[in-house]
């Protein structure tokens, strides 16, 4: 398949460039290396999707490669604060509700609204780790109507309230070891 060869060639080229940047350390080599690593990652993901057998890859990555699921995923990621319904997401994807629900579950491994709930919790956890804003502000930004609604959902998924999660992460610092299950 020609696409595989092109992706593999790009990955090889990026790896060679990273090697040269790290060996010679020219000006801005760190920045160039980081960007080349990102290019390489994207091409490796593309290559992985191209060679994977049907059903072998699931989750958001498989969803982004699916023409029915991708528009709904992009919409949820662009506007997690919106009170999405399956009907609205199906409209974005230009398919029926039942088609989107079935395809989303088949490709991603869970229904669209379950995926959205998980995505919102991930966004909230990221904001809490960075120390950005109050819990109430984070709740609004990620699509929960109240601090209480976020707290209940967050605790159900992580085992800790948002405030406890923030405190534990702050106590851990940058060690990269988490005290809360995710």
pLDDT at 54: 64
pLDDT over 70 at 1, yes or no = no
Residues 6+ apart with CB under 8 A from 145: 139
User: 179 lies in a domain?
Assistant: no
Place of tokens 């209940």: 152
Give yes or no: residues 126 and 165 share one domain.
yes
User: 38 lies in a domain?
Assistant: yes
Averaged pLDDT score across all residues of the chain: 87
Q: Which two tokens stand for residue 140?
A: 């609004």
3-state secondary structure of 48: helix
C-beta contacts of 50-56 below 8 A and 24+ residues apart: 50/1, 50/3, 50/4, 50/7, 51/4
User: 13 lies in a domain?
Assistant: yes
pTM value surpassing 0.95: no
Domain around 13: 2-51
Model confidence over 110-129: pLDDT tens digits? 999 999 999 999 999 999 99
Give yes or no: residues 88 and 120 share one domain.
no
For range 22-51, the mean pLDDT: 85
Domains identified in the chain, total number: 3
For range 61-88, the mean pLDDT: 94
For range 134-145, the mean pLDDT: 95
pLDDT at 45: 77
User: 104 lies in a domain?
Assistant: yes
Give yes or no: residues 144 and 120 share one domain.
yes
């Amino acid at each position: 398949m020609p696409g595989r060869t092109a992706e593999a060639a790009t990955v090889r080229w990026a790896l060679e460039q990273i090697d040269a940047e790290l060996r010679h350390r020219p000006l801005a080599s760190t920045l160039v290396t980081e960007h080349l690593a990102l290019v390489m990652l994207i091409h490796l993901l593309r290559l992985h999707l191209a060679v994977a057998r049907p059903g072998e890859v699931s989750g958001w990555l498989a969803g982004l490669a699916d023409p029915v699921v991708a528009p709904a995923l992009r919409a949820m990621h662009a506007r997690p604060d919106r009170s999405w319904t399956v009907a609205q997401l199906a409209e974005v994807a230009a398919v029926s509700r039942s088609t989107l629900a079935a395809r989303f579950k088949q490709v991603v491994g869970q229904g669209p609204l379950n995926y959205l709930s998980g995505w919102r919790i991930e966004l909230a956890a990221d904001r809490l780790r960075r120390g950005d804003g109050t819990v109430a502000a984070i709740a609004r930004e990620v699509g929960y109507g109240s601090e209480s609604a976020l707290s209940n959902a967050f605790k159900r998924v992580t085992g800790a309230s948002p405030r406890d999660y923030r405190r534990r992460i702050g106590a851990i610092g940058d060690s990269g070891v988490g005290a809360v299950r995710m």
